[in-house]
Amino acid sequence: MAEFQLYCFAQSGNSYRVALMLTLIGADWQPIFVDFFNGETRTADYRSSVNEMGEAPVLVHGGKKLSQSGVILLYLAEHSGKFLPHGEDARLEALRWIIFDNQKLNGILATYRFLHALAKPSGDPAVMKFLKGRADSALRILDKRLASRSYVLGAEPTIADLSLVAYLYYPAEEFGFDIAAEHKNIGAWLDRIKAIPRWAHPYDLMPGYPLPA
């Protein structure tokens, strides 16, 4: 058995943050497929034996079982010494961006993409308009941040970057708009992260793609 197990599925950008981190740090890990689209995270069994919050990702490492991608990223950074923000100020700054990301950026973008590309029926137009406005606003904030820095905290990539890329490599058709083309600094930053050795696309890292027709 691999050292780390990750409960995840291919369409989950929340899980991708962790799958990417494990891959970039060269960890010995294996995915455990979560059948999200058939309701696995809503089952009593999943909630009692995997995650009471009913979410993926969940990381298992020896006797530890962790959920919330931000917590898992911090754990892996401290464990490996890689993508770790150094010093108290940098650590707090990374957490500030991770929380912003979870709530306002990928937190909203994930729902928008789900309602656009995966839900049946797809989202109500008024709801979609509201979510798109919120997502655009958060993307503009990140784009501005990246105008004067290579990565979110500065010259080196950290867990803040690995959180913020969550849904941003999925195909533009799944959103109905092209994030990298509309936000040039984000586009350049995504290319820089893609150039880190061992980078892989979410659909190549996690099981469950494509969805059955």
CB of 23 or CB of 69, closer to ligand GSH = 69
d(CA 163, CA 18): 8
Instruction: Determine the Cα–Cα distance for residues 33 and 48; give it in Å rounded to an integer.
Output: 17
Identify the residue among 6, 14, 108, 153 touching ligand GSH (CB under 6 A): 14
Site for ligand GSH in 101-140 (CB under 6 A): 102
The piece of 22-30, 52-60, 85-93, 124-132 that touches ligand GSH (CB under 6 A) is: 52-60
- Report the alpha-carbon angle 38-43-44, nearest 5: 170
Query: 């979510």: which residue's tokens?
Result: 131
Tell me the closest approach of the beta carbon of residue 155 to ligand GSH, in angstroms.
Answer: 26
Q: Do residues 158 and 94 touch, judged by C-beta distance below 8 A?
A: yes
What is the H or E stretch that residue 66 is in? Answer: strand 64-67
Report d(CA 105, CA 61) in Å as an integer: 28
Q: Exactly one of 10, 12, 132, 158 binds ligand GSH (CB under 6 A); which one?
A: 12
Interaction residues for ligand GSH, span 61-90 (CB under 6 A):
68-69
Binding mask 15-44 for ligand GSH (x = CB under 6 A): --------------------------x---
| One of 6, 7, 20, 57 touching ligand GSH (CB under 6 A) | 57
Identity of the residue, 50 or 139, whose beta carbon is nearer to ligand GSH in the bound complex: 50
Hey, is 157 helix, strand or coil?
Answer: coil
Give the range of 51-59, 121-129, 150-158, 185-193 binding ligand GSH by CB under 6 A.
51-59
| CA dist 137 → 72, 84, 99, 160, 183 (Å) | 27, 28, 16, 19, 11
Q: Which residues make up the interface to ligand GSH (CB under 6 A)?
A: 12, 14, 41, 54-57, 68-69, 102
